[in-house]
Amino acid sequence: MTTTTGGHAAPNWSGIPEPEDDGACQHLQGTQFPSLSLPSTSGKPVDVSTLPGLTILFIYPRTGAPGENIPAEWDAIPGARGCTPQACSFRDASQEFAELGVDAIFGCSTQDTAYQSELKERIHLPYELLSDEKLELARAAKLPTHEWKGKTLIKRMALAVESGKIVKVWYPVFPPDQSAAQVLEWLKEERK
């Protein structure tokens, strides 16, 4: 089945290798989110550790640029493909997140803010994107990464951060376009 996200056909996930849980995020549950300011597409740096209430932060390796030909070797990396569909899943559910008491949603990658701003505008994201271009968050939180074409990228995950504390971790995330649905399912259980 093909779905459309942001004007692009979503991949057939059956042809994409599913990531396995390697335990690389087990240390995050129940810890304080690192105190650091990340550049944001809003133009103002954001320190997630200082935000009141419930924040959902989803982290993805990278999104492709318009017209970029994504090579087969990218699809061969378990969990790499699907960053735009993941972002669109949070876009499409943003109202439901607000109704369930989520105070903020952010996406985060190691791409720079200018690159992220183009994506935010192109696929009409109602939330801001944070840049970990300097890998400060990846290092401080010991996030799992992989190398691709000489760049260090953070593996896909989602975090629920309540008043600076990581209260829930989704890792690995597959399929990527179901990321928001997985978080919503947890929220509905939590809010009962």
* Per-residue pLDDT tens digits for 27-70: 999 999 999 999 999 999 999 999 999 999 999 999 988 888 88
Nearest partner of 127 among 190, 32, 58, 188, judged by Cα: 58
Backbone angles phi, psi at 167, to 5 degrees: -100, -15
| 183, containing H or E segment | helix 179-190
CB of 90 closer than 8 Å to CB of 192: no
pLDDT at 16 (0 to 100): 86
| 168, containing H or E segment | strand 165-170
- Tell me how far apart the alpha carbons of residues 185 and 181 are, in angstroms, rounded to a whole number: 6
The pLDDT of 134-162, averaged and rounded, is 97
pLDDT at 8 (0 to 100): 46
Domains defined for the chain, CATH in brackets: 23-41+50-66+76-190 (3.40.30.10)
Which residues are CB-contacts of 144 (< 8 A; sequence separation ≥ 6)? 22, 24, 25, 154, 155, 157, 171
pLDDT above 90 covers a percentage of the chain that reads 83
Residue 6 has pLDDT above 60, yes or no: no
